[in-house]
Amino acid sequence: MREMAGGRPGLITKTGLGTFVDPRQQGARQSPSTEEMLVELMRIDGEEWLRFKPFPIDIAFLRGTTADEDGNVTMEQEAVLGEMLAMAQATRRARGIVVVQVKRMARRGTLPPKQVKIPGILVDFVVVEPEQRQTYATDYDPSYAGELRVPLSEIRPLPFGPRKVIVRRAAMELYPHAVCNLGAGISTGLSTVAAEEDLLDSVILTNEQGLIGGAPITGRDSGGAQNFAAMIEQPSQFDFYDGGGLDLAFLSFAEVDAHGNVNISRFGDKIVGVGGFINISQNAKRVIFSGTLTAGGLDVQWENGKTRILQEGRHRKFVRSLEQICYSAPLAHERGNSALFITERAVFRVGDKGLELIEVAPGIDIERDVFAQMDFGPAIATDVHEMDARIFAPQLMGIKDETVARERRHRSQRIAEWYGSRA
């Protein structure tokens, strides 16, 4: 949107190479009837880049909290800032119409200028809806807007089950001061587990909507956060992500092939969309993918620390081929970035030859419960071992001390040297 707002020839980026948005694959086209090239492959200084072409905008529907009589809009009660300004600017340049919904009106000249997020010069119509909700599920929560911080006791713990087991294992990948992204799906539960284990002050959790720090919210309120340190605009958050700012990314997966490639966007005629998944997964230094081994009716229970599969899922998630590639494991591996796949019964990593089994849950038979539920047989690590028993017990894991004790990984050699000189 910012490129379009500035009249530039689209977005030029490496993000998306090797995925379905690459024109050597589908070029981001979802239908064979789409003949227009939406994405162009370019070479600049001998390197491959993608150009996402601009498109016209007829109308933009935006959202704020308060508007004055001149159309200036503030967002003091919103859970995210999104990309409202860039969308309004891009629409104005395209000679489109900008409509903003707000909760209330204010007299001309009474809004604090520094709080105005959409200037009135960009707004054509204001619609007042006094009953607008802050999120899909919540009318208004002041902590979502950063007006207050809630006690950690108010962050409801996850019920014990497959989701909690998976994100508990994912939480064991945290280390001090790691800057993390939490994606949609199972991975959003990591913030809740981090709160339970008193780890929120030891790491920096972020989400693609522009929240930095605190605990990203799960469920139908997802996108917001509580106790966050900063709320920035979404395009700026993605600049940080695309520039390699993430140490860890916790994402969900829908389908995985033997190479470690991931599909989350399309399944037959069902188009889910990719959101910021490609930006995050392709540029983070390490990606932790979470999901159950199978889906659709899966019933798992734990007795005395042992995993029992009572009912296997109807749909396999580790498959021979993907309809769309949203994460290119070979490209990430080539760049030196690593990936881990965590399920409720096994953990895999991406090695030189593709997916490799490295951990198995207690009580799980590898052949019957893992390999027989996959369309391919992954390699088995020479040091394969059982997953940590604390993951499968209802009580707290107590991993704070060991997490805090892990070595801090400085983001640049200069910073590491600076700290080292003052040790």
319, 257 Cβ separation under 8 angstroms:
yes
| DSSP classification of residue 291 | -
Residues of the chain under the 70 pLDDT cut: 410-417, 419-423
Q: What is the pLDDT of residue 352?
A: 86
**DSSP codes joined into one string, 333-390:** HHTT-EEEEE-SSEEEEEETTEEEEEEE-TT--IIIIIGGGSSS--EEEEEEEEPPGG
Please tell me the predicted confidence (pLDDT) of residue 406: 87
Distance CA 132, CA 190 (A): 29
Task: Give residue 164's pLDDT.
Answer: 96
What would the pLDDT profile of 361-374 be if each residue is shown by its tens digit?
A: 999 999 999 999 99
Exposed (0-12), middle (13-18) or buried (19+): which is 239, by Cβ within 10 Å?
middle
Q: Report, as residue numbers or ranges, the catalytic residues.
A: 208
Q: Which CATH superfamily is domain 154-405 in?
A: Glutaconate Coenzyme A-transferase (3.40.1080.10)
Task: Name the amino acid, one letter, at 77.
Answer: Q
pTM of the model: 0.92
| All structural domains of the chain with their residue ranges | 2-52, 59-128, 154-405
* pLDDT at residue 419 in the model: 66
In eight-state DSSP terms, residue 273 is -
pLDDT in tens, 55-65: 999 999 999 99
Longest dimension (CA), the chain: 70
Provide the pLDDT for residue 2: 93
Q: What is the DSSP string of 275-287?
A: TTHHHHHHHSSEE
DSSP string, 124-183: SEEEE-TT--SSSS-S--TTTTTS----GGGSPPPPSSHHHHHHHHHHTT--TT-EEEE-
**Tokens (6 digits) for 49:** 């880049």
pLDDT in tens, 134-170: 999 999 999 999 999 998 888 888 899 999 999 999 9
